[in-house]
Amino acid sequence: MSRTDAPGPERYDRTTVGLHWIVAVGVLGQWLGAHAIDLFPKGPLRVDARSVHILVGVTLLVLMGWRIWWRVRHGVRFAPDPRPGFAVAARPGHLALYGLLLTILVLGALDAWVRGDSIFGLFHIPHLGDLAPPARHALAERVVALHELAANLMLWLAAGHAIVAVAHHVWLKDAVLGRMLGKAVRGPWWR
């Protein structure tokens, strides 16, 4: 796919659209799953729930790496929105989404490393350094608190992102929402 600002249907390529929606669903699933982990009794079920959370997190980290690489190397670029303030808001908003998601994923990996988590009881992630258990527990609590804060901020930012996309579609009647739906969409979809 070429990187062009040429006229024509304004839509992202299939790879960009697919990665966007896979990551979006993965993030929402991770947020919901994280709230369910402590509902499991201590033992193998909770270890399995944490293991799934960790492995999906690692998968999201790989997908985000792919997504960033794709965007930089092959992704479609659109001309900045000429309306006052729109281009100024869009770029920092997208950078915040990427930055916050990467922060969440790195904090999650650090948490698993500090705890020395077990993955399905098959192997253990090595503990971080030679910290005494009380110091390791205190560090894990701080990392988890930051991970949760970043995840909650991400959910709010993603909700704002979705609201803005729908506002573009419903009130501004432009093709911004259609770009991520993989087709050129103009005007309300219910017509």
Helix (H) or strand (E) holding 175: none
Q: Residue 37 above 50 pLDDT?
A: yes
Q: Report the C-alpha gap between 20 and 66 in whole angstroms.
A: 11
**pLDDT per residue as tens digits for the range 150-166:** 999 999 999 999 999 99
pLDDT band at 129 (very low <50, low <70, confident <90, very high): confident
pTM of the model: 0.84
**If we measure between CA atoms, which residue out of 97, 102, 104 comes closest to residue 165?**
97
Domain residue ranges in the chain? 14-181
Mean per-residue pLDDT, 104-129: 93
- Name residue 167's amino acid: A
Contacts with 115 (C-beta within 8 Å, 6 or more apart), sequence order:
125, 127, 136, 140
3-class secondary-structure state, position 187? coil
Mean pLDDT across the chain: 87
9: confidence class by pLDDT, cuts 50, 70, 90? low
H/E run at residue 119? strand 118-119
Distances (CA, A) of 185 to 12, 32, 87, 165, 188: 12, 30, 20, 12, 8
Read off the tokens for 30.
Answer: 């991770």
Q: Show the CA angle centred on residue 77, arms to residues 20 and 106, nearest 5°.
A: 40
Got the DSSP string for 73-139?
HT----PPP-STTHHHHHHHHHHHHHHHHHHHHHHHHHHHHHHT-EETTTEEPPPSTT--HHHHHHH
